[in-house]
Amino acid sequence: MNAVIDTKPMQLDEQALERARTHLDDGAVTPSYGPWREEVIKLLNDALATELVCILRYKRHYFTAHGIASPSVADEFLEHANEESAHADKLAERIVQLGGEPDFNPDSLTKRSHADYNDATDLKSMVRSNLVAERVAVEAYRQMIQMIGDKDPTTRRILEEVLAQEEEHADELLDMLKD
Ligand SMILES: [Fe+2]
Ligand SMILES: [Fe+2]
């Protein structure tokens, strides 16, 4: 079967460029953005909730980790907490750019988060629960990236960067479990 060749001329949509001169209140979002802005903002807010829950879980584990391997493991928890915090900032910033409201409401945080909070007291349970949470985050980000596709390249790039770091987190936690 022959591949279908796209013969459309490589020309910009001049009308869309003209429309971009209007609706200045929308800032970075031009009229041709597409009808999915609210859905993208919702996905980003659920991801933000997930990151915030992950920060809390890692902080709890950082401060309560004890035992023979605890100093190095606790340091890793703190590093992850700080990286989740940077993810949360990136997501919140993008929500605002899209004209949305970043939802930091603690009352609904655990309901909106994909990953769970955990207050285990033994090191192995901590590592295991963090690995589960990271794998859930990896799956959620991968699905979001697929759904967004070409609809919003900037949001997709942000999600791809976050996903790569969640995969690193999962990998590091698995190494700890094996030790
Ligand atoms: Fe994260
Ligand atoms: Fe992570």
Domains and CATH numbers, the chain: 34-178 (1.20.1260.10)
Tell how far the Cα of 16 is from the centroid of ligand 1, in angstroms. Answer: 35
Q: Give the residue carrying structure tokens 């970075």.
A: 28
Report the distance separating Cα 179 and Cα 165, nearest Å.
21
Tell how far the Cα of 84 is from the centroid of ligand 2, in angstroms. Answer: 6
Q: Which residues of the chain have pLDDT under 70?
A: 1-2
pLDDT score for 2 = 63
Tell how far the Cα of 141 is from the centroid of ligand 1, in angstroms. Answer: 10
pLDDT tens track for 68-117: 777 899 999 999 999 999 999 999 999 999 999 999 999 999 999 999 99
Tell how far the Cα of 51 is from the centroid of ligand 1, in angstroms. Answer: 5
Report the distance separating Cα 69 and Cα 123, nearest Å.
8
Q: Report if pTM > 0.85.
A: yes
